[in-house]
Structure 1
């Protein structure tokens, strides 16, 4: 007959082993999830499986003066397509400014519960941009900042930015930001004071790193 102390010790050791294995598995899953979010696309190519997690649905200001083509294929930075945005100088609603938010889900101005994306683990938002002619002034490129009952957990941005006709990469520092609930994944705004004749510009490779 086996000694009860030996049986007790064996059972305790088995319990510790199972607990440790479970802990290691949980930590491993968390690390894999964190590693997976280190490259998160807002836009790479039209219809790409690894992008379009945010939708350009939040049109603001003189929104009727805007056009957006997310499948523009002429002089792209990378891949097959880029985004072309044109902003006319009509001031159709009298706002004299316009902009677009990329939202999750579409048309979410902070009113939708259990929405948004947890982007903890990234440290910056990068994108490539160029102007049609050069000199186009974008007042702000940003992420976050949407309020409402279920708002963005934080916000960050850069600007004003004067674009060149050549592709150039821009970066928004996200270190120290609360990225646990992001519904406004990317946004830009411009006005007629900086663009009296309106402007056309292009965006590509918008991603969190």
Structure 2
């Protein structure tokens, strides 16, 4: 009887594996409409060859920001992440600050650039606050204006971050993504973070 139970369990697990295999293969084989493999990373790790876009678009009180894309949570870690420190001093008098990841660097719609991301259904990323409770006014894809404006835009926020890592997603299903120069953006305000805020980000990618 025991042998029969083991045999049945083994057959059941094998069946589950066979069912999952095509699904995994389908996920691994997904591409943008132009054939570029997904996921399409904005940030995977410091200087990873899979990275796209440059965090060049500093906005508002840009003097209030410190940016580190090689930050390690523990000194012995191999894995890096992004740390954005906002001190909320209103250096430029705006009362808010943000960063756009752009292509090419410093592209505010004044020159041709960006990527054709049609076929992606969402932008996914990990985020957390150093203390928990940090307020992010907006996480955004697209939205750059100008002569070569982004073809679409989508955002989430406002939201409060937790101290533990959490995955967030920006839905893109109804967006025209044929030309996106502003791949990712975050904005924080002094009103909601009067003592400043430290935000950590990782694995930012289009799926």
**TM-score normalised to structure 2 length:** 0.81
Superposition deviation, residue 79 in structure 1:
6.5
Take 1:66 and 1:141, find their aligned partners in 2: how far apart are those partners?
A: 16
Partner in structure 2 of residue 84 of structure 1: 83
Conserved 8 A contact 1:37-1:122: no
1:31-67 CA-to-partner distances (Å, cap 9, x unmatched) read: 786453431000000010111x100000000000100
Q: Look up the SS of the partner of 1:128 in the other structure.
A: strand
Change over 3 Å in CA distance of 1:141–1:32 after alignment to 2: closer
| Runs of 4+, deviation exceeding 3 Å | 31-35
Partner in structure 2 of residue 41 of structure 1: 41
Take 1:142 and 1:101, find their aligned partners in 2: how far apart are those partners?
A: 9
Take 1:158 and 1:32, find their aligned partners in 2: how far apart are those partners?
A: 22
Instruction: Identify which of 176, 179, 184 aligns with 1:178.
Output: 176
Take 1:81 and 1:107, find their aligned partners in 2: how far apart are those partners?
A: 24
1:158-193 CA-to-partner distances (Å, cap 9, x unmatched) read: 000100000000000000110000000000001011
Instruction: Identify which of 164, 177, 189 aligns with 1:191.
Output: 189
Conserved 8 A contact 1:45-1:79: no
Superposition deviation, residue 105 in structure 1:
0.4
**TM-score normalised to structure 1 length:** 0.81
**Worse-superposed segment, 66-75 or 120-129:** 66-75
Partner in structure 1 of residue 101 of structure 2: 102
Radius of gyration: which is bigger? 1
Q: Look up the SS of the partner of 2:57 in the other structure.
A: strand
Does residue 161 of structure 1 match 2:148?
A: no
> Which runs of 5 or more residues in structure 2 are unaligned?
1-30
Change over 3 Å in CA distance of 1:154–1:79 after alignment to 2: farther
Which structure 2 residues correspond to residues 1-209 of structure 1 after superposition, within 5 A? Answer: 34-51=34-51, 53-74=52-73, 80-113=79-112, 115-209=113-207
> Which runs of 5 or more residues in structure 1 are unaligned?
1-30
1:110-133 CA-to-partner distances (Å, cap 9, x unmatched) read: 0112x1100011100000000010
Q: State the number of aligned residues.
A: 176
Take 1:202 and 1:118, find their aligned partners in 2: how far apart are those partners?
A: 27
